[in-house]
Amino acid sequence: MLARAKELKGELTRLRRAIHRHPELGFREVKTAALIAETLESLRIRVQTGVAKTGVIGYLGEGGPVVAIRADMDALPIQELNEVPYRSQVPGVMHACGHDAHVAMALGAAMLLREIELEGEVRFLFQPSEERPDEEGKSGALRMAEEGVMEGVEAILALHVDSETESGSIKISPGPMAAAVDSFKATIMGRGCHGAYPHRGVDPIFIAGEVILAIQGIVSRRIDPVKQAVVSIGTIHGGTAENIIPQEVELTGTIRSFEQGVREQLHTELEKAFRVARALGGDFRFNIEEGYPVMVNGERMAELIREVAIALLGQEKVLPKEPAMGAEDFSFFLAQAPGAMFRLGVKKGEMRPGHSPHFDLDEEALPIGAAILAESARRCLAAAFN
């Protein structure tokens, strides 16, 4: 499978670069979806478009069992700074997280699986908007799941590029791999006045400082030290001039956790922290928006991927994966069927971190990802994995 995938490297590179040149933000992946559909149709794979707004599904094979392969399609609102022939042609938009490569490798898996006889169906899920939810707070995976794309699916797998791991290696482990993510928005309300006479008002900036101290004490003093949790404040906005104490200050932030009990406790403790505003004569408005759940790799699928990777790459190239506080909406699919995501090493030379205007990847890794996806799906079907 890997030898055949390497023969496809030129085509996988072409696809990845075509998508990279024309990045599209979440739920706007029109050109990307058209390229995917055209490629699948050229392979005589049945195609469904317009799923979850811009998503594409490819159906290869018939009957059961059904194994799904997922690839996300969306780019990020970042201005690319790389000087490469395939740099983004869209101002302010860039594939800075490797989703262009994810699509190319899933299409590569389709090319590989198209050449063999399958014992069931492989369903290719090309998903919009992994990076951010829409105006209703729903990401691409959640919308696809709600539209029934997982019906009949007995197992699902995916990959994500890893810019910290050397090209030619992968990382895979069972268990919680990506954190649950929630966001909060709060307004601390005071009473505005002249900056020369602070005693005539209630200073929400001063109050915000005390609230921030309380927030920073949540993880260190309120959460069990052996549990993993993060609360980070991302924005603070308040005031219009240096000599005016404002009426209010707005804060937003992110909440990360791996256990439901810890997640609920973080929500409760955050609200308690904002109550400091009332003790100091102000008030507050507070809202939490729940995001992606914890992404948990199933033991059987993680072990199957590990065995496939060892067979293709060798034992020394297959590494364990530690949990990380990043979030991944693949978790919505895993809530409906067992499966796993592995991390594909794409680092060559200097590390180019994801979500950076300098992000790039080693395209020698593209055949590796395609081969592992294809061979893992084939073995799932052959073993009637569930």
Catalytic residues: 292, 363
**190 neighbors 282 (Cβ within 8 angstroms):** yes
As given in the structure block, the two tokens for residue 223 are 């959460």
Report phi then psi at 50, rounded to 5.
70, 25
Give me the helix-helix angle, 366-382 and 299-313, nearest 10°.
130
**19 neighbors 36 (Cβ within 8 angstroms):** no
Cα–Cα distance, 74 to 61 (Å, whole number): 27
The DSSP secondary structure of 129-193, one letter per residue, reads: -SSS--TTS--HHHHHHHTTTTTTEEEEEEEEEEEEEETT-EE--SEEEE-EEEEEEEEEE-B-E
Q: Which of 160, 157, 147 is nearest to 122 (CA)?
A: 157
